[in-house]
Structure 1
Amino acid sequence: MKTKWRIELWCWLFLLPTVALFVLFQGWPIAASFYYAMLDWSGLTSDSTFVGLRNFVDVAKDPYFWNAYKNSFKFMLGVVPLNLLVPLVLAVVLNRPRLKGASIYRTLIFLPVVTTTSIVGIIMVFIWGSDGAVNDALMKIGWLDTPINWLGDAKWSMFTVILISVWKNLGINMIYWLAGLQSIPKDLYEAAEVDGARGTKLFVYITIPLLLPIGAVILLLNVVNSLKVFDLIKTMTNGGPFFATDVVSTYIYRYAFSSEMGLPQLGYASAAGLFFAVTISILAIIQSVLNKRMKGRAQS
Structure 2
Amino acid sequence: MKTAAPKMTTTRLKAGMTGWLFISIAVIMIAAFYFYPMIQALILSFKTGTGSNLTFNGIDNYKRLFTDSMFITAVKNTFIYLIFQVPLMVILALFISVLLNDKNLKFKGFFRTAIFLPCITSLVAYSVVFKYLFSADGLVNSLLLNLHVIGTPIQWITDPFWAKVTIIIAITWRWTGYNMIFYLSGLQNIDSSIYEAARIDGASPIRQFFSITVPLLKPIILFTSITSTIGTLQLFDEIMNITKGGPGNATSSISQYIYNLSFKYSSDFGYAATVSYSIVIMIIILSIIQFKVAGEKK
Tell whether the structures are fold-level matches, with TM greater than 0.5: yes
Q: How many pairs were matched up?
A: 290
Q: Choose the corresponding residue for 2:50, options 42, 54, 68.
A: 42
Q: Choose the corresponding residue for 1:16, options 15, 24, 34.
A: 24
- 1:294 deviates by 4.1
**How far apart are the structure 2 equivalents of 1:175 and 1:295?**
25
**How far apart are the structure 1 equivalents of 2:64 and 2:26?**
37
Counterpart in the other structure of 1:245: 251
- 1:290 deviates by 5.0
Counterpart in the other structure of 2:150: 144
SS state at 1:177 partner: helix
Give 5+ residue unaligned stretches, structure 1.
none
Cα-to-partner distance string for 1:139-166 (whole Å, 9 max, x where unaligned): 1111122112201111211111001110
Counterpart in the other structure of 1:214: 220
**How far apart are the structure 1 equivalents of 2:253 and 2:235?**
8
Q: Does 1:88 align with 2:94?
A: yes
**1:69, 1:248 within 8 Å by CA — same for their partners in 2?**
yes
Counterpart in the other structure of 2:198: 192
Larger Rg computed on CA atoms: 2
Q: What letter is aligned with 1:283?
A: L
Cα-to-partner distance string for 1:92-149 (whole Å, 9 max, x where unaligned): 1111111110100111111111101111111111110011001111111111221122
**1:76, 1:227 within 8 Å by CA — same for their partners in 2?**
yes
Matches within 5 A, 1:41-80: 41-43=49-51, 45=52, 47-80=53-86
Give 5+ residue unaligned stretches, structure 2.
1-8
**1:213, 1:295 within 8 Å by CA — same for their partners in 2?**
no
RMSD: 1.8
Distance 1:205 1:50, change over 3 A: closer
**How far apart are the structure 2 equivalents of 1:88 and 1:120?**
23
Q: TM-score, normalised by structure 1?
A: 0.91
Q: Choose the corresponding residue for 2:274, options 237, 247, 271.
A: 271
* Identical residues among aligned pairs (%): 33
Counterpart in the other structure of 2:283: 280
- 1:289 deviates by 5.0
Cα-to-partner distance string for 1:221-279 (whole Å, 9 max, x where unaligned): 11111111111111111111111111110111100122xx2x21111111111123211
- 1:41 deviates by 3.2
Distance 1:284 1:12, change over 3 A: farther
**2:291, 2:297 within 8 Å by CA — same for their partners in 1?**
no
